[in-house]
Amino acid sequence: MSKSIDQVFVNAKQWLLSWLAGSPTWLIQVASILINIFMLLAVFLTLFALISVLERKILARMQNRYGPNRVGPFGLFQPIADGIKMLIKEDIVPERADKIVHFLAPVLLAAVAILTLGVIPYGRNMASFTIDGGILFFFAVGSATELAVFMAGWASNNKFSMLGAMRAIAQMFSYELPLIITVLPVVMVVGSLMPDRIVAAQAEYTFGVVPRWFVFTPWGAAAFILFFVSGLVESNRTPFDVPEGESEIVAGHMTEYSGFKYATFFMAEYLGMFAVSGLAATLFLGGWHAPARVLEIVPSYIWFFLKLSVLLFVYIWLRGTLPRTRIDQMMNIAWKFMLPMAFTCVIAAAVWHYAGRGLRGWLWSLFVIAIVYSALSIVLDIRRKFAPRVYRFAE
């Protein structure tokens, strides 16, 4: 029974495709691909609408307000109203802007975000497409984000846009290194770049209780935290929303965008956030696996989306809690702390593997990480401890 509920979407797709039985193979292939694309867009655009209203409501609760509550029950129709408003707004293109590049930038950004979502498995046998180098695909396609942001900033022909794009590229480049290097230990331990295999490797339970998710190993926990913070930066969220800091540079690379193009930017940002958190859940939190054997009755996709929502809640929570960081502090921590720690995770994973993947490996890798962490914090702190506080201003 639970098996059939678990596979209900896979079976529904098979049933739809069975209507085409007898037609040429390429037609069935195209239909299968189209169904996958449609489902991907339907699910994640709904999630986007839902999260955008939930974010406002949760933020409001954190600030002792109500948040949107007029449109529909509990204000849940707010995204529809927003969408209509965005659609009927005038689309202003600056006179001196580079029209083609100005138009292409949001399109490229949204396309990249949707493509990266495609490799993540949402449930048992549920991934939009499987490719041998899935993780590499995620980062290869995701690296086009920087070019898209640059295109937006340059084509707008506005100094705020250009400044925002420069900041965005600087921080994305710096944090892409820890983001990718923290994935390496997982890939090393599993021995595959395929998301499906990585999820399958986290299937069992130690002592029958603790699931074998990588986040429960010392190197996995450290890598997960580093990955999460880097993901926060990559999706330009508070506290790392320097590129679009409203109080400094209007809206960064989105300054000259209005109407539906602005909505596309907004959507791409959220889809990118889903993609990074989905990858974090896949790599470290066991993907669609249940946290305990008894709970395996619950369908796999529900577990995946639960984990995703927990991560997204943390994103919103951080946004409601932390102030914006200064860009030089952000760069400092990326190069001086996060990058060495990411390399340490790789070494600790190797230690864990060669010490037998058991309790001994667990302790040894914890030892490695603890030593590097304390050494780094001492080295980074030494100069600052007795120095007078220096204020820096823009020159």
State in angstroms the smallest separation of the CB of 161 from another protein: 13
Using the minimum distance from each CB to another protein, give the nearer residue, 205 or 343: 343
What's the CA gap between 166 and 170, in Å, rounded?
6
What's the CA gap between 349 and 343, in Å, rounded?
10
Q: Where does this chain touch another protein (CB under 8 A) — which range of 28-36, 146-154, 235-243, 292-300? A: 146-154
In 3D space, the residue among 87, 36, 120, 77 whose CA is nearest the CA of residue 267 turns out to be: 87
What's the CA gap between 274 and 235, in Å, rounded?
9
State in angstroms the smallest separation of the CB of 26 from another protein: 9
What's the CA gap between 9 and 202, in Å, rounded?
23
Q: Where does this chain touch another protein (CB under 8 A) — which range of 34-42, 44-52, 138-146, 347-355? A: 138-146
State in angstroms the smallest separation of the CB of 269 from another protein: 19
C-beta atoms surrounding 363 within 10 Å: 12
Residue 66 buriedness (CB in 10 A; 0-12 / 13-18 / 19+):
exposed
What's the CA gap between 3 and 314, in Å, rounded?
31
Using the minimum distance from each CB to another protein, give the nearer residue, 145 or 365: 145
Per-residue CA distances from 157 to 229, 254, 387 (Å): 32, 12, 42
Using the minimum distance from each CB to another protein, give the nearer residue, 190 or 232: 190
- Residue of the chain from 65, 133, 210, 322 that contacts another protein (CB under 8 A): 133
State in angstroms the smallest separation of the CB of 177 from another protein: 11
State in angstroms the smallest separation of the CB of 101 from another protein: 7
State how far Cα 381 lies from the chain centre.
31
Residue 104 buriedness (CB in 10 A; 0-12 / 13-18 / 19+):
middle
State in angstroms the smallest separation of the CB of 220 from another protein: 22
What is the full DSSP assignment across 194-241?
Answer: -HHHHHHTT-SEETTTEE--GGGSHHHHHHHHHHHHHHHHHTT-TTS-
Binding mask 194-223 for another protein (x = CB under 8 A): ------------------------------
175 binds another protein (CB under 8 A): no
143 binds another protein (CB under 8 A): yes
Q: Where does this chain touch another protein (CB under 8 A) — which range of 132-140, 266-274, 275-283, 363-371? A: 132-140
State in angstroms the smallest separation of the CB of 276 from another protein: 16
Mark out the alpha helices in 235-299 (DSSP H runs).
Answer: 246-249, 259-284
191 binds another protein (CB under 8 A): yes
State in angstroms the smallest separation of the CB of 256 from another protein: 16
* Residues shown for the chain: 395
395 binds another protein (CB under 8 A): no
Q: Where does this chain touch another protein (CB under 8 A) — which range of 51-59, 136-144, 341-349, 360-368? A: 136-144
120 binds another protein (CB under 8 A): no
- Residue of the chain from 77, 103, 129, 139 that contacts another protein (CB under 8 A): 139
- Residue of the chain from 82, 146, 196, 269 that contacts another protein (CB under 8 A): 146
Pairing type for strands 205-206 and 210-211 reads antiparallel
- Residue of the chain from 137, 228, 288, 352 that contacts another protein (CB under 8 A): 137
Subset of residues 86 to 105 that bind another protein, contact rule: CB under 8 A: 98, 101
What is the full DSSP assignment across 137-182?
Answer: HHHHHHTHHHHHHHHHHHHTT-HHHHHHHHHHHHHHHHHHHHHHHT
- The residue behind tokens 């996958």 is 36
User: Interface residues with another protein (CB under 8 A)?
Assistant: 98, 101, 131-133, 136-137, 139-141, 143-144, 146-147, 150-151, 154, 169, 173, 176, 191-193
